[in-house]
Amino acid sequence: MGWRISQPLAGLAIAAPLALGVAATPSARHGDRVFTFTDAAIVEASGLVVEDGLFLTTNDSGDTGRVFAVDRSGHTVGVTHWSDDPTDTEALAPGGHGFVWVGDIGDNTGRRSSIEIARVPVGSVARTVRPTTYRLRYPDGATDAETLLRDPVSGRLYVASKSVFGGVLYAVPEHLDASGTNRLDPVGRVLPVATDGSFFPDGKHLIVRNYSTAVVYAWPSMQPVGSFALPSQHQGEGISVAADGKVYVTSEGPRAPVLEVTLPPRIRAAVVPAVSAGPASDSPSASAGTAISSPTDPAEVEPTSRDAWPWVMGGLLAVVAFVVFLRAIRPR
């Protein structure tokens, strides 16, 4: 869903942490148009997964729970209805073997006591399903989020929060309990106002985007590899890395284009070994849908002080900007 503050303040709040942490470099290209969504029902594409030749997306809040499967011509070839009244569906992550994980994780008002995820079948067919849903709870209270990722090696899921001062990446429990609430554990920091993310094929890097910028991180250290500007979009809330390592982005809005983005040379050089290695096969626990294993548990990797200080400084700059903004509009 859209997230609004005054434009000058938003620009400084988003740019300052990035400038202090990882200097953004221009993207190598502005993005090559792959296709445009032709389905009039796809009006607020939030989240993107590219798998098995299909582009999978979902509308965010205001729609019923459904996942659209779109081919490279832009035509919808399948729709899976999985819920009549989700709270705020905002994200998708690969689910393996013809499935995606759907994230009902949006919380713009910060009032939800828990969020939900579900593993949903997708493909070139119209169907209605009632999947098992799993409740997740943050350790520090209600939090807005629009990003759901899945490690292709371990099958473990992660949620990245959406905050102007920089988000937090949380690990979903290895084994999900359908009857209780599953606690999320913080594992690292991500860029401000995260709207989507994806792992690279062999799980050694991940990418997280906001409305204008993407950052590539090494995994599981969460050390930034580099950041780059994304093509201008109406409201960019989708990014996915396909099995061949190609990066795709999309946006909310009717007839939104899907673009292929070329990584800047310096970043591509860092991730090419991961890309050329190809995707790892799904682990048995991931395909089962209820157990998500992790051979190297990133929940035990603490964010380093080198990660933390740029976000703190960025937050301070944003606060200063807000004070200046308030003084500027105060009646004299």
Amino acid (one-letter) located at 308:
A
pLDDT at 278 over 80: no
Is the separation of the CB atoms in 262 and 151 below 8 Å?
no
| pLDDT range class, residue 118, cuts 50, 70, 90 | very high
Query: Could you tell me what percent of the chain has a pLDDT over 90?
Result: 71
Tell me the pTM.
0.79
Residue 313's φ and ψ, nearest 5 degrees, are: -65, -40
Listed residue (174, 177, 143) closest to 160, CA to CA: 143
Task: Give the residue with greater pLDDT, 282 vs 270.
Answer: 270
Residue 148: its pLDDT value, please? 98
Which residue is it, tokens 């209270």? Answer: 141
pLDDT at 302 over 80: no
Q: How far apart are CA 70 and CA 50, in angstroms?
A: 10
Query: Could you tell me what percent of the chain has a pLDDT over 70?
Result: 73
pLDDT tens sequence across 12-33:
444 444 543 455 555 545 689 9
| pLDDT range class, residue 61, cuts 50, 70, 90 | confident
CATH 2.120.10 describes domain 7-329:
yes
Q: How far apart are CA 306 and CA 264, in angstroms?
A: 24
The answer for 226, left when phi > 0, alpha when psi is -120 to 50, beta otherwise, is: left
Pull the structure tokens for residue 331: 């009646």
Task: Give the residue with greater pLDDT, 280 vs 110.
Answer: 110
Listed residue (29, 30, 11) closest to 19, CA to CA: 11
pLDDT at 88 over 50: yes
Q: How far apart are CA 313 and CA 109, in angstroms?
A: 25
Sheet holding 45-51, edge to edge: 45-51, 54-59, 65-70, 76-83, 126-128
pLDDT at 299 over 60: no
Q: How far apart are CA 332 and CA 318, in angstroms?
A: 24
Which residue is it, tokens 């090559």? Answer: 32
Q: What residue segments make up the domains of the chain, in order of their start?
A: 7-329
pLDDT at 282 over 70: no
Q: What is the three-class DSSP state of 9? A: helix
Query: What's the whole-number mean pLDDT along residues 117-137?
Result: 98
Amino acid (one-letter) located at 305:
S
pLDDT tens sequence across 192-238:
999 999 999 999 999 999 999 999 999 999 999 999 999 999 899 99
Residue 6: exposure state from Cβ atoms within 10 A (0-12, 13-18, ≥19) = exposed
Largest CA distance in the chain: 66
Q: What is the three-class DSSP state of 310? A: helix
**Average per-residue pLDDT for the chain:** 82
Task: Give the residue with greater pLDDT, 171 vs 303.
Answer: 171
